[in-house]
Structure formats: C-alpha cells, structure tokens
C-alpha cells in the first residue's frame, strides 16, 4: 500500500536496509533504492514514494540538496535522514527543511522499523482525516467531484490530476475502475423528487464507499447519474461484493435496485476515462434488461466463479455453526450472491438445499438437535419454487434449526435507534451504524427494514426532520444553522428533504406554526 525510497551511495548500506526491515508487516508494498540524488529524483518521478530514507553525505548532490528538490517535487513525502556525523549543524539544517526524523549511523534495524512505522501511522491518519473532511464538507466534495468529472470525460486532465493528488492526497498511479449507477426510471415521479432521491442514493454511497476508503462517489455533471470510482487495493478481490452489498442496501431503502455497470481496471487516474467509457458502453448496449450488474467478459465462467464463492461460504457457515448471528449474516450474503450471478430458479433451489443439508450435518456434529423431517420437507418444498421463494424457505428452516429468537434482533434495532438519536447532527450512514453494532451493513440494512418496516436511511431522515420541526418551532435559529444541527451540510438538500416530508419549506413551516400560536 505504501512505497519507500532508500538513498545512499554505499551499496552495502542501502541494500542492507532493504533486507533487514520486514516491510510487508509495515504494509509497504514497494522498496526502491538509489545510489545518488539524481537517480533518486528520477525514481521519485516514476514511483511517487510515500517515504524517503536518505543519507546526507553523498557525492555530486548532497542529501540536504536532495531533500530541497524532493519537497518541491513531492511536498507530502515523509523524509528520514541518516548520517554518520553527530553534527549540530546537520541537525539544525534538517529541522529547517522540516524532515520527519534525524538518525545516526549505524542505525539499529528495530529503531529504523519503528521510525518507518511512525510515519506510516501518520500517513494513515491523514488519509482517514482527509476522507472525513471531504465527505462532511460540501465545498471540498464539490471540488473533488468537479475534478473527477474532468477525468472521466477527458477534459483538463492535467489540472484535475494535480488537484486530486495534491489537495486530496490520492495517488495518481492508483489502480481503479469506474462504476456507473443507473436507477430505475419512474415517470410518475416529479423532477424535484427525482433530484432528492438521487441525492439520497449519493449520500448512502458516500457512507458505504467513501467513508471506508474504498473509492470516490460523485455525480456525472453531463447526465446526472451517480458514478463510483473503486480503488483496487482497498477493494481487493471483493469488488463484486462491494457493489452487490451496496445494491442490496439501496434496494432495501428504495424498493428497487439501480443497475450498475463496471468498467475494466485501469492503471492510474489518467486512464479513468477508458474505464468510464466502457461502463457507459455496457449500459447503452445492454438489451436484456435482466442483469443488475454489468461487467466486461472474462475467461472464468460464471458458474465456476459461483461454485468457488459458494464453497467458501459453506465452509464459513459450517465452521461457525455455533454462532447463529454469524451464520445468518453469511446466509444473507449467499442470497445476494445467487442474485448477482443470475442463477436459474432450479440452481438456486439446488444450491440452497445442498447448503442447508451441510449445515444440518455440522449442527448435529456439534451436538445440536434437528427436529422432525424438516430437511425432507424442505427438499419437497423448494421443487418448482422461484429463486427468492427457495431462499426464504431456506431462511425459515435455518432460523428454526438454530432457534434464533427475535430478542437479539430487536436489541440490535433498539441500539441502532439510540445511536441515531444521539448522533443526528453527525455523519450517519448504514455503514457506520452497522460498524458501531459490530454487524455487516448488508445484514443490518435488511434487519432494520424487516423489524421497523422502513429503510434505515428513511428512518434517519424522518428523525432529522422531526428534530428540525422542533427547532423551527422553539428557536430563532436560521435555516442553515438548523440544517447543520440535524446533520445536513447542504442547506438546499435539507430544504428539499423537509418539503418532501412536511409539504412546505422550513421557513413556511415556521411562519405557519407561529401564526397559529398568535
């Protein structure tokens, strides 16, 4: 995840530092070495390191000169200085150049490791703070969105790259992919409600994608669709899971699932428009109107991919059969996965029965009791059922077998409501609420909807509007102040949401309430 550049004109020293430190444990994925300042400058332009470890005393270009050049080339780079001279002048010069640490040779490998670890901890904190500042700050988010639009549409790329890298600390060589979300069109909905819904979808994506550091959410300025840019390193091999879990949350909240088109992976922000154009092409040329996730064809067959995912889920559930809540969360993931791989109803029924048969055996082996002929009845019941019907029958069978009562379920929802009530002015999302309760966002989203009858996002909006009404009735705070107090950084978005729920604008609501009192 991080890159380190080691600069020393003595080969034994630079290679020694490269070998003695356990870089992988520090989450350093690349270590490059340079024998001179000139070579170091060239490598820095190519690899953009996060940390540089450099000697001071070198021929041609000294370490201090190199530091000055590097601070112009990469001002956010962390710099550690090594020297064999215990000189106050050197130390003072390093302080003037604002280097992060000053270490004497020969340096102990444990000391060096801790110095690097400290810098990486600092870098991580900056990344987290940067994400929070961006997602909670309207102006900052709009600046990033504008730059991202230039990249996906191939305009003003150099300026956009500079802003994204310098102002938002996002590496230009990051491997990523574009995702285009296209909600179902409802021609019975007026334009104002359509704008409000699009903003709500975007806010959910910000909480689920951006707040976790998985990528960037922004609006396409040309057609208004919601765009996501996912970082490969953060998502890893779970890109499909990220999208399917997000879609499931959106389906719970809004009753339908936006179609998602995923472009191919590209190396670097400069290539983002290629991935974006591919995703748009997939949407425009999708004639089936069946698949909810569109992606480029690959060499691995869909059935083989599903089989591998299915076996992993089955193993996890059987291994953790004594933890009913965990088993049910994995079963929820299994249900979503069958949908994302577009299995036939017969295949869903077959896999569901095989899974529950395996779980029944694991439950018996663990000392549990399976009553009656439930498994035989299930096998007969799923025959001829649709995929969703088979999965619901399977869910009921599993709940009965594991004897998971509703007490724990209602306790989770009660805790969630308390958390929402106590944090209405903060950045609330399905993701961070689920995290506070130690459950997955997908599981929590479904659970909240099942118990309360409304999506979690809808519940948050209702509570915020209720609090806003109280503040409008009892205080003289202006609309902007009240918007911030109930968790809206964007006053226009607050006004739209308020009017949607109350039928009038916040200002009109306050006037009507006061007229009645008079």
Banded model confidence at residue 23, pLDDT cuts 50, 70, 90:
confident
Give 299's pLDDT tier (boundaries 50, 70, 90).
Answer: very low
Angle formed by the axes of helices 345-365 and 374-382, to 10°? 170
Identify the CA nearest to 32 among candidates 20, 22, 46: 46
Task: Supply the pLDDT for residue 92.
Answer: 55
Residue closest to 439 by CA, chosen among 319, 328, 320: 328
> Is 331's pLDDT higher than 80?
yes
- Residue 475, pLDDT above cutoff 60: yes
The rounded distance, in Å, linking the Cα atoms of 119 and 115 is 7
- Could you give the CA distance from residue 215 to residue 234 in angstroms, rounded to a whole number? 8
Rounded mean pLDDT, 383-396: 82
Q: Kindly report the number of other CB atoms within 10 A of residue 433's CB atom.
A: 23
Number of Cβ within a 10 Å radius of residue 481: 12
Measured over all CA atoms, what is the biggest interatomic distance in the chain, rounded to whole angstroms? 87
In this model, does residue 466 exceed pLDDT 90? yes
The model's confidence at residue 518, banded by pLDDT at 50, 70 and 90, is low
Q: What is the pLDDT of residue 84?
A: 67
Tokens (6 digits) for 204: 């959910």
| Reported confidence tier of residue 287, pLDDT bands at 50, 70, 90 | low
DSSP 20-72: HS-GGGGTEEEEEEESSHHHHHHHHHHH--SEEEEES--SSS-HHHHHHHHHH
- What are the structure tokens assigned to 170, written together? 């996002």
Average pLDDT over residues 76-90: 69
Mapped to the 3 state alphabet, what secondary structure does 274-321 carry? Answer: HHHHHHHHHHHCCCCCCCCEECCCCCCCHHHHHHHHHHHHHHHHHHCC
Q: Are 471 and 485 in contact (CB under 8 A)?
A: yes
Least confident of 95-109, 191-205, 459-473: 95-109
Given a cut of 90, is residue 467 above it in pLDDT? yes
Q: What is the model's pLDDT at position 486?
A: 92
Please give the pLDDT value at position 417.
Answer: 92
- Kindly list the distances between the CA atom of residue 416 and the CA atoms of 254, 345, 441, in Å, as whole numbers in the listed order: 20, 35, 12
**Mean pLDDT, to the nearest integer, of 486-503?**
90
**DSSP label at 271?**
G
Among 29-33, 252-256, 259-263, the minimum mean pLDDT is found in 252-256
Please indicate whether residue 150 or residue 517 has the higher confidence score (pLDDT).
Answer: 150
Please provide the average confidence, as pLDDT, over all residues in the chain. Answer: 81
Task: Confirm if 384 and 346 have CB atoms less than 8 A apart.
Answer: no
Q: Which range has the top average pLDDT, 17-26, 180-189, 218-227, 479-488?
A: 479-488
Residue 134: the pLDDT is 54
* DSSP 8-state symbol, 93: H
pLDDT reported for residue 300:
39
pLDDT reported for residue 304? 64
Taking the C-alpha atoms of residue 88 and residue 75, their distance in angstroms, rounded to an integer, is: 25
Give percent of the chain with pLDDT exceeding 90.
Answer: 12
Identify the three-state secondary structure at position 344. coil
Listed range (262-266, 365-369, 391-395, 500-504) with the worst mean pLDDT: 365-369
Q: What is the mean pLDDT of residues 54-73?
A: 79
Q: pLDDT-based confidence at 508, cuts 50/70/90?
A: very high
Task: Give the total residue count for the chain.
Answer: 518
Going by pLDDT thresholds of 50, 70 and 90, the confidence category of residue 405 is very low
Query: Which pLDDT band, with edges at 50, 70 and 90, does 370 fall under?
Result: low
Question: Model confidence at 293, in pLDDT bands (50, 70, 90)?
Answer: confident
pLDDT digits (tens, 9 = 90+) for 117-143: 888 887 776 665 555 555 555 667 788
């Amino acid at each position: 995840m991080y890159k380190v550049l080691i600069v020393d004109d003595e080969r034994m020293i630079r290679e020694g530092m490269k070998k003695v430190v356990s870089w992988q444990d520090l989450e350093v994925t690349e270590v490059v070495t340079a024998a001179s300042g000139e070579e170091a400058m060239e490598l820095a332009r190519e690899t953009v390191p996060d940390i540089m470890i450099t000697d001071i005393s070198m021929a041609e270009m000294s370490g201090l000169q190199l530091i000055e050049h590097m601070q112009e080339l990469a001002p956010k780079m962390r710099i550690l200085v090594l020297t064999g001279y215990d000189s106050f002048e050197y130390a003072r010069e390093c302080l003037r150049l604002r280097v992060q640490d000053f270490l004497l040779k020969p340096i102990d490998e444990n000391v060096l490791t801790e110095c690097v670890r400290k810098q990486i901890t600092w870098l991580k904190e900056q990344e987290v703070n940067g994400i929070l500042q961006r997602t909670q700050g309207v102006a900052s988010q709009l600046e990033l969105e504008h730059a991202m639009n230039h990249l996906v549409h191939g305009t003003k790329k150099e300026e956009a790259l500079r802003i994204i890298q310098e102002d938002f600390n996002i590496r230009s060589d990051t491997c990523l992919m574009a995702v285009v979300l296209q909600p179902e069109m409802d021609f019975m909905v007026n334009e104002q409600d359509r704008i409000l819904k699009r903003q709500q979808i975007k806010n959910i994506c910000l909480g689920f994608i951006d707040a976790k550091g998985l990528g960037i959410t922004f609006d396409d300025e040309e057609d208004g669709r919601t765009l996501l840019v996912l970082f490969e390193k953060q998502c890893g091999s779970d890109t499909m899971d990220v999208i399917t879990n997000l879609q499931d949350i959106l389906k719970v909240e809004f009753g339908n699932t936006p179609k998602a088109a995923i472009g191919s992976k590209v190396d670097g922000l400069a290539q983002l428009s290629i991935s974006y154009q591919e995703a748009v092409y997939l949407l425009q040329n999708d004639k089936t109107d069946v698949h909810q996730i569109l992606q480029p064809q690959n060499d691995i067959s869909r059935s083989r991919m599903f089989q591998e995912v299915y076996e992993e889920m089955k193993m996890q559930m059987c291994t953790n059969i004594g933890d009913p809540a965990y088993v049910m969360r994995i079963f929820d993931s299994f249900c979503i996965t069958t949908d994302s791989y577009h299995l036939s109803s017969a295949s869903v029924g077959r896999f569901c029965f095989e899974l529950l048969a395996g779980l029944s055996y694991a439950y018996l082996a663990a000392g549990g009791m399976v009553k009656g002929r439930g498994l035989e009845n299930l096998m007969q019941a799923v025959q001829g059922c649709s995929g969703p019907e088979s999965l619901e029958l399977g869910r009921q069978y599993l709940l009965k077998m594991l004897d998971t009562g509703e007490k724990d379920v209602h306790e989770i929802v009660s805790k969630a409501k308390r958390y929402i009530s106590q944090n209405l002015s903060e950045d609330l999302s399905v993701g961070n609420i689920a995290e506070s309760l130690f459950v997955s966002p997908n599981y929590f989203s479904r659970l909240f909807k099942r118990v309360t009858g409304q999506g979690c996002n809808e519940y948050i909006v209702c509570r915020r509007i209720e609090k806003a009404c109280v503040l409008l009735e009892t205080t003289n705070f202006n609309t902007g102040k009240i918007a911030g107090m109930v968790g809206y950084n964007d006053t226009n978005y607050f006004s739209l949401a308020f009017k949607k729920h109350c039928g009038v604008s916040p200002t009109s609501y306050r006037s009507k309430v006061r007229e009645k009192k008079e």
